[in-house]
Amino acid sequence: MKFLSIILIFQGILLSGCMSRIPKLTPAPNSHPPIYKVNFEEIDINKDGNITKYEFSQVPQSPEINTVTPVIWFVILIVLIGCMVYLTKFIRNKK
């Protein structure tokens, strides 16, 4: 009887815990680049019906992703953690 109750308790814990209800993942609202809506008339500067390379270059482009700043902060964080680990060498009690 005790064995059966233990099995039922563990089954209840394992099957109805936090991990049994995995939420559906939805993409972040700002995860995609912004979409620019530009009329053909706004791009065609000289109104000849053709879009030249110069006219195309004048269309606003999506902003570049900054990858330098996160890398710098990651390196700083790793160096600080390394320094703290190294300092524990001096803080240890010598017994």
Please, which residues have CB within 8 angstroms of residue 41's CB and are 6 or more apart in sequence? 47
The dihedral formed by the CA atoms of 45, 47, 51 and 57, expressed in degrees to the nearest 10: 0
Instruction: Answer yes or no: is 81 within a domain.
Output: no
Instruction: Answer yes or no: is 2 within a domain.
Output: no
Q: What is the pTM of this model?
A: 0.37
Helix (H) or strand (E) holding 86: helix 68-91
SS3 11: helix
Instruction: Answer yes or no: is 40 within a domain.
Output: yes
Q: Please list the pLDDT of the chain residue by residue as tens digits (95 residues).
A: 666 667 666 665 555 555 556 667 776 666 666 666 777 777 777 888 888 888 878 777 767 778 899 999 999 999 999 999 998 888 876 65
Instruction: Answer yes or no: is 38 within a domain.
Output: yes
Identify whether the C-beta of residue 61 lies closer than 8 Å to the C-beta of residue 69. Answer: no
Can you give the pLDDT at residue 94? 61
Query: Which of 65, 62, 45 shows the shortest CA–CA distance to 53?
Result: 45
Instruction: Answer yes or no: is 75 within a domain.
Output: no
Q: What range does the domain containing 56 cover?
A: 32-61
